[in-house]
Structure 1
Amino acid sequence: MSERINRRFTITELHKAGHRPCEIFNLLKHRGFKRSTVYGVIKRYSKAPSLADKKRSGGPRTARTKSMVKALRDRIRRNPRRQQKKLAIQLNVSPSTIKMALKSDLGVRAMRRGVCHMLTTKQKKNRVIRCRGLLKRHAGESYKNILFTDEKIFTVEEKFNRQNDRIYAKRKSDIPIAQRKSNRSHHLGSVMVWLGVSLVGKADLYFVPQGVKVREKNYLDEVLEPIVKPIGSTLFKNRDWTFQQDSAPAHGAKVVQRWLHDNVPGFISSQQWPSASPDLNPLDYGIWSKLEIMACSKSHTSVESLKQSLLKAWGDYPIESVRAAIDGWPSRLRSCVKAKGGNFEP
């Protein structure tokens, strides 16, 4: 008796015993039975009480044969990065045959490739050592008192996702060109934004003058003194907290590290934070992209318009999303250690 007949027999026997279809599915789903299979067999059995296959019409397969499916499987195993049109040409079948074979015979689906940070062997070792240090230092719930900070440049252009942005119409000509195209310019107006977030709350959004990120004196005068220093009383209400920043040149300068030692209760030094690690900063992996979508859903006519949109978007940004990103930070440190400092899936 074939596997297909065995499955039908199991379903019909349970049905004869008085079990309802939903009960049969719950009993068999751990064995790989699909809900549609259970309901389909019962419906078919009620019309014709036979377990045998129905008589099929048409001739034998000529394109989606076993040998073709095997050749397709071997190609996918050697290199999963494939194009269906090229596979169809290589195997001398139609693109629709390839599509059906991938879905029905091989049970695979197309997945979007992502991008990740390029890491050297030295950087990977550095990430492991520093992630372990951060896990040890911020064990338990002490990470909840960290102020995570970062800077990002926003432009007046619309945030455009080439793969997912779609427009719907019967004909392309029905849609105005302004809606069909996303404008791009060689001379962009832009602004640098500084943000700080913690589980306690969101710091105010600040627009940073150009050059601050690479010049320690500007960083001290424009960010640390006027923005970071008051946060201890405004956001943390004079409780103990820890300041975090990435490994940008201005951040690692001796004068900056000395200022932090003298002016904040605790901080993660440039020797403690993993370099080349945007996947470990909640702002990078969980906040910036969403904020950009909110603020730059359409292009702006001026930098001032962009600034007003960013301020409104940050004001509307839900604190629950901020806290969710920060709560995922310890598990990301552990995932980085498990991946031996390489790229990882959170």
Structure 2
Amino acid sequence: MKQLQNLRDAIIRAHTRGKKQNEIADFLGISQGTVSRTIKRYEETGSNDNRKREKTARTPENIQLAREAIRQNSSSKANSTRKLAKKLGIGHDAAHKILKKDLKLKPFKLLERQKLTAAAKLKRLQRCRDLLDRFDKNRHRMIIFSDEKLFDIQQAFNRQNDRIWAEEPPDTEKRVAERVQKAESVMVWAAISARGKTPLHFVDQGVKINRQVYADMIREHLLPYAEQDFEGENWCFQQDSAPAHKANDTQAMLEEKCPDFITRDQWPPYSPDLNPLDYSVWSILESKACEKPHSNVASLKRALEKAWDEISVEMLAKIVDNFPKRLKKCVDANGGYFE
């Protein structure tokens, strides 16, 4: 036992001096996994001593203290296993077992969402009800949805879900998705429906999408697509409430050029969760085109166009068919968060 404690001490001394895990493992002649576990435990508990035995740590007193801590901080991001372990003075594993086995709790991730005021929730509720009535009986398949998104040349990744599976912890450099401030980027506009999609439109660098620029995009990209895929049918155009979209000139142009459109007073405010491009298409595009970092914007554009071409009409139809389901969920949530 003493020999094991001495080994742990040696690992931590080397770690605090800035040595890498693989260097420590090679020097001490042990596996990198042993080094990783020792450092992890030290960072979690602040100690390199032997853990308290599980049956000692999971006492009725600690279980009750954990229950009270959870109740007091049930909606707090500070309510983590690590912080609970520190508060109770027990190991991370013991705290985790108290939460899972003794208290029968499940972990849930925090979600990042648009801020919704009471007034915004009420508008969402009322307008979702109206849209459900307006586009019942599969009439939502006549909507052309549109949106803009800024893509940059950096690698896209999901902090929660992206993982590297390996027998031993990989070198830090292999796990890093590098980020820089003010990375080169490009603004993209596109529109989709259950029948297809427009080409991607790249907004030139330095061009602000004002009402005139936006009107030109509608004339040059939306209307030719709509004429091709809907052949004179009464399609409906959707857009969000960005300043260029809700300008009086824009609204007047859409009323003249489109058989039907969702006005600035009809689309629910603060609702990216209701636009198929936002809740699905952009993520698909980003995961494919930005799987690896790009050296410049030209490379990014080529990757975006390739990924865009790979999105099938069948996939778009399934995504668009989720629109009325999401309207219903929003109504059930009284205009609040529903996912």
Please give the range of the TM-score, normalised by the shorter of the 2 chains. 0.7 to 0.9
Match of 1:220 among 202, 215, 223: 215
State the secondary structure of the residue aligned to 2:283: helix
Deviation at 1:145, TM superposition (A): 0.5
Aligned residues: 284
Match of 1:300 among 294, 297, 302: 294
Alignment-mate amino acid for residue 255 of structure 1: D
Q: Matched residues in 2 for 1:249 and 1:322: separation?
A: 27
Counterpart position of 1:186: 181
Counterpart position of 2:87: 90
Alignment-mate amino acid for residue 309 of structure 1: A
Counting only pairs closer than 5 Å after superposition, residues 211-290 of structure 1 correspond to structure 2 as 214-221=209-216, 223-290=217-284
Alignment-mate amino acid for residue 85 of structure 2: A
State the secondary structure of the residue aligned to 1:235: helix
Whether the 8 Å contact between 1:197 and 1:322 is mirrored in structure 2 is yes
Counterpart position of 1:49: none
Q: Matched residues in 1 for 2:55 and 2:267: separation?
A: 60
Counterpart position of 1:343: 337
Q: Residues 325 and 66 of structure 1: is their aligned pair in 2 closer, same or farther, counting only changes over 3 Å?
A: same
Q: Residues 250 and 314 of structure 1: is their aligned pair in 2 closer, same or farther, counting only changes over 3 Å?
A: same
Counterpart position of 1:105: 102
Deviation at 1:267, TM superposition (A): 0.7
Q: Matched residues in 2 for 1:122 and 1:211: separation?
A: 35
Alignment-mate amino acid for residue 319 of structure 1: V
Q: Provide Cα deviations, 1:127-169, integer angstroms capped at 9, x if missing partner.
A: 1221122112112211111001101011111102233333355
Alignment-mate amino acid for residue 150 of structure 1: D
Q: Provide Cα deviations, 1:218-271, integer angstroms capped at 9, x if missing partner.
A: 1112x1110111122212222221111111111111111111111111111111
Q: Matched residues in 2 for 1:211 and 1:258: separation?
A: 27
User: CA RMSD for the aligned pairs?
Assistant: 2.3
Q: TM-score, normalised by structure 2?
A: 0.77
2:125 counterpart of 1:131: no
Q: Residues 258 and 132 of structure 1: is their aligned pair in 2 closer, same or farther, counting only changes over 3 Å?
A: same
Q: Matched residues in 1 for 2:295 and 2:335: separation?
A: 43
Deviation at 1:176, TM superposition (A): 8.0
Deviation at 1:312, TM superposition (A): 0.3
Deviation at 1:212, TM superposition (A): 6.3
Q: Residues 91 and 184 of structure 1: is their aligned pair in 2 closer, same or farther, counting only changes over 3 Å?
A: closer
Q: Matched residues in 2 for 1:208 and 1:181: separation?
A: 30
Alignment-mate amino acid for residue 202 of structure 1: K
Whether the 8 Å contact between 1:232 and 1:239 is mirrored in structure 2 is no
Q: Provide Cα deviations, 1:68-89, integer angstroms capped at 9, x if missing partner.
A: 2222122222223422232223
Q: Matched residues in 2 for 1:240 and 1:103: separation?
A: 55
Q: Matched residues in 2 for 1:176 and 1:276: separation?
A: 39
Q: Residues 60 and 86 of structure 1: is their aligned pair in 2 closer, same or farther, counting only changes over 3 Å?
A: closer
Whether the 8 Å contact between 1:213 and 1:250 is mirrored in structure 2 is no
Counterpart position of 2:118: 121
Whether the 8 Å contact between 1:124 and 1:341 is mirrored in structure 2 is yes
Deviation at 1:97, TM superposition (A): 1.5
For structure 1, the residue ranges without an aligned partner over 5 or more in a row are: 1-58
State the secondary structure of the residue aligned to 1:194: strand
Deviation at 1:103, TM superposition (A): 2.0
Q: Provide Cα deviations, 1:73-125, integer angstroms capped at 9, x if missing partner.
A: 22222223422232223223322211222222122232221111101222122
Alignment-mate amino acid for residue 208 of structure 1: V
Q: Residues 186 and 67 of structure 1: is their aligned pair in 2 closer, same or farther, counting only changes over 3 Å?
A: closer
Q: Work out the percentage of aligned pairs sharing the same amino acid.
A: 42
For structure 2, the residue ranges without an aligned partner over 5 or more in a row are: 1-52
Counterpart position of 1:24: none
Whether the 8 Å contact between 2:153 and 2:295 is mirrored in structure 1 is yes
Q: Matched residues in 2 for 1:60 and 1:327: separation?
A: 50
Alignment-mate amino acid for residue 165 of structure 1: D
State the secondary structure of the residue aligned to 1:195: strand
Q: Provide Cα deviations, 1:190-221, integer angstroms capped at 9, x if missing partner.
A: 11111111111222222123576641011112
Match of 2:69 among 59, 71, 75: 75
